[in-house]
Amino acid sequence: MKLNPGGHSGLNGFFMMYMSKWKRVAVVLLLIWIAVTYFVISPLRLNKGDERQDTEFIRLKRLSCLQRIEKKGRNFTDKKTALEHSSLKMHEITCDGNTDETADFQERLKAVSLQLESLKQQHSNLITQIKKSSGLNVNLNDIETSAFLHNGGGPSEEYENLRRRVYSNTKEIWYFVNHELTKLIHDDVQSEKLQAILDQMADRKRSLLSDQQKLQELDGYHEWRRTEAANVSDLVQRRLKYLQNPPDCRDARKVICNLNKGCGFGCQLHHIVYCLIFAYATERTLILNSKGWRYNNKGWEYVFHPISDSCTTAYEDKVVQWPASYDAKVVSLPFIDSITQKPKFLPLAIPSDLAHRIVRFNGDPSSWWIGQMLKYILKPKTAMQKAINDTIAKMNFKNPIVGVHIRRTDKVGTEAAFHHIDEYMLQVKDYYEQLELTQVVDKRRVYLATDDANVLEDARNKYPQYEFLGDPSIAKTAATHRRYTPLSLTGLLVDLHLLARTDYLVCTFSSQVGRVAYEMMQTNRADASDSFYSLDDIYYFGGQNAHDRRAVLPHAARAPHEISVQVGDLIGIAGNHWNGFGRGTNKRTNTNGLVPWYKTADHLVLYSFPEYKNVPQHPDTRQKDL
Ligand SMILES: Nc1nc2c(ncn2[C@@H]2O[C@H](COP(=O)(O)OP(=O)(O)OP(=O)(O)O)[C@@H](O)[C@H]2O)c(=O)[nH]1
Ligand SMILES: *[C@@H]1O[C@H](CO)[C@@H](O)[C@H](O)[C@H]1NC(C)=O
Ligand SMILES: *[C@@H]1O[C@H](CO)[C@@H](O)[C@H](O)[C@H]1NC(C)=O
Ligand SMILES: *[C@@H]1O[C@H](CO)[C@@H](O)[C@H](O)[C@H]1NC(C)=O
Ligand SMILES: [Mg+2]
């Protein structure tokens, strides 16, 4: 919130010069400008009054941000120069060594330098964007295109996307540099010097990311993002409630979802999510059939509030297996894995009528949308909620805290690779070192959830400087032979609730439990898309439709395992290698290989879901009594 009083900014300088030369003329012109602007803007507004002051205030705040970014941009140049300098130094060091190695090293540093150049370009784009919407170059066009006047005071989609892109690509450059230099450490005599460069780079990366996070807090939209997220969430929840409580249950079209999927709770939750999205897309009321459920054979409704207050049976109506005609009154759904022709509305698609609102507060709309389904589904009944509360009360759960989910037992070696505790803790350490740039951290706390009871003790012994929260008895009940019991479910719900309440989540997205924790996190705040680190997969929904990224920069393959892309190409994504590259198939050329991640951007799929026009956009208290 600091307004820069120093007066060394570009605008202030400009203003001072103006004052001395054209003092009077300027004041008159300024007054005219204000008057004209006011009259031009006021008809565009929905709410008049205080908002105008707010806008001015926001503009000023954004100006101070702008100065910060501009400075940061200078630091970027410094960084590049420093890097080139160390490149030269390395050249001197390795002169009398293997020339191949030197050339290779030079080559890699050049690539790093190129990435920095591109990041710098993005920074200046961001500055231009802010300049535009803060009205620095005042003309009517700019006022009209600055979206925040049009859409209730929020940031424009372009600004939000660009801001997130700079953040994400700062991480990408770090993945790349870290990977390349670590490789050199392993086969080079200069490992100490390389490690020093790497440590410096890590420090610079944390500083950049930290500043970008502050940018988000200072750009004047922090509160707006929060209320907008709450409002859209509220709208989705009311639509689901409307769908699930038809005026005449007997008459309503329905879809039946059987909870007999023979898998863990995370997997079963996602099964219900898929059913609920199906229900929402086809305007059918979801009937959950949970008889003989493996976690509690009394059924889902014994533990959670039913998915409908008023409509929980299909009566004796004929049930048709989907795919069926639109007119079929009751259809029953197969598991998502066994659908041959997948409907386009399945994840990662999001509703087109909400998409442009969601992208303005959340960097990962697909998981936000899935999180909204979970929010509707997962409502523990009083007894279960009390058991959860009691367990939580016994823990010293305080923020800041990092959540770590370590999935072992049946998963390891069959569906996912083993990851050592050190790999998780490396990310925890990085998180805290970045956080400590801006605040004092009294204690580095970690909430550790796992299905392997030995992990917690192991972690406490190996990392005495951290405080580990977690209940070894929960982990014991998660062991494979005790897993499908009510007690084990209580423990898992505690783990999920607490993981979702942490500030940062370190996990493996190959696990459904890890992904559920992240989806729940997405419902706890406006945007959790930068609040996790997955040691393996990128985010996905089991059984999802194709996940593509679109090339935003051209790339010419530099090695046989790389693919070339043109701007606009769609790339079917298999995963991010967290070394600056991801694997995918270019759908235009049908070639598969590695592509620099920063040259691509996520391709969001929109689907025209029903818009539930009967549900008001804003909760209207008068309608509650109807
Ligand atoms: N309490 C607790 N239980 C866990 C934890 N991790 C796994 N479990 C148990 O193990 C089950 C794992 O099955 P799934 O939910 O299918 O998740 P997954 O096996 O990781 O993922 P998929 O194999 O892709 O389905 C969970 O549902 C829990 O019952 C944990 O951190 N805490
Ligand atoms: C730029 O870097 C210097 C030293 O690395 C630091 O003191 C300064 O605060 C940085 N400027 C900004 C705007 O981050
Ligand atoms: C959210 O909804 C409230 C009440 O319906 C409304 O006053 C507010 O302006 C909305 N906020 C945003 C950011 O749309
Ligand atoms: C559990 O805790 C939450 C918040 O801490 C509280 O709002 C809720 O009423 C509690 N529920 C029960 C059943 O104790
Ligand atoms: Mg499993």
How confident is the model over 11-38, as pLDDT tens digits?
A: 455 445 444 555 666 566 666 666 655 5
Distance CA 605, CA 524 (A): 24
Give φ, ψ of 121 to 5 degrees: -60, -45
Give me the pLDDT at residue 8, please: 43
Ligand 2, residues 75, 127, 201: which to mutate, most atoms within 8 A of Cβ?
A: 75
Nearest CA to ligand 2 atom 6: 75
> Which ligand sits closest to the CA of 415?
1
Give me the pLDDT at residue 229, please: 98
Nearest CA to ligand 2 atom 14: 72
Stronger pLDDT, 625 or 191, i.e. the higher one: 191
Sequence spans of domains, the chain: 10-220, 243-358, 380-534, 548-607
Average pLDDT score over residue span 376-386: 97
473 lines ligand 1 (CB under 6 A): no
Q: Provide the sign of the torsion angle of the four alpha carbons 239, 245, 250, 254, taken in this order.
A: positive
Average pLDDT score over residue span 265-276: 98
150 lines ligand 2 (CB under 6 A): no
Given a cut of 70, whether residue 167 has pLDDT beyond it is: yes
Task: Give the full edge-to-edge strand order of the sheet including 285-289.
Answer: 285-289, 254-258, 330-332, 319-321
- Report the share of the chain in percent with pLDDT over 70: 79
200 lines ligand 2 (CB under 6 A): no
Architecture of domain 380-534: 3-Layer(aba) Sandwich (3.40)
Task: Return the ∠ at Cα 174 (arms to 168 and 180), rounded to 5°.
Answer: 140
Ligand 3, residues 51, 227, 233: which to mutate, most atoms within 8 A of Cβ?
A: 227
Give me the pLDDT at residue 141, please: 39
- Ligand 1 atom with the smallest distance to the CA of 478 is 3
Q: pLDDT tens digit string along 492-541?
A: 999 999 999 999 999 999 999 999 999 999 999 999 999 999 999 999 99
Q: pLDDT tens digit string along 470-493?
A: 999 999 999 999 999 999 999 999
Are 269 and 516 spatial neighbours (Cβ–Cβ below 8 Å)?
A: yes
Give me the pLDDT at residue 64, please: 62
Give φ, ψ of 593 to 5 degrees: 170, -165
Distance CA 249, CA 107 (A): 68
624 CA to middle of ligand 3, Å? Answer: 18
Average pLDDT score over residue span 543-553: 97
Q: pLDDT tens digit string along 321-349?
A: 999 999 999 999 999 999 988 999 999 99
Are 480 and 410 spatial neighbours (Cβ–Cβ below 8 Å)?
A: yes
Q: pLDDT tens digit string along 398-449?
A: 999 999 999 999 999 999 999 999 999 999 999 999 999 999 999 999 999 9
Ion ligand 5 neighbours (CB, 5 A) are: 264
How many helices (H) and strands (E) in the chain? 16, 16
> Which ligand sits closest to the CA of 540?
1
Query: Topology of 548-607 in CATH?
Result: SH3 type barrels. (2.30.30)
553: burial class by Cβ within 10 Å (0-12, 13-18, 19+)? middle
Are 392 and 498 spatial neighbours (Cβ–Cβ below 8 Å)?
A: yes
164 CA to middle of ligand 4, Å? Answer: 35
Nearest CA to ligand 4 atom 2: 389
Nearest CA to ligand 1 atom 4: 451
Nearest residue to 403 via CA among 431, 380, 377: 431
- Ligand 2 atom with the smallest distance to the CA of 75 is 1
Of 29-43, 45-59, 199-213, 569-583, give the lowest mean pLDDT range: 45-59
Given a cut of 80, whether residue 358 has pLDDT beyond it is: yes
Distance CA 308, CA 464 (A): 48
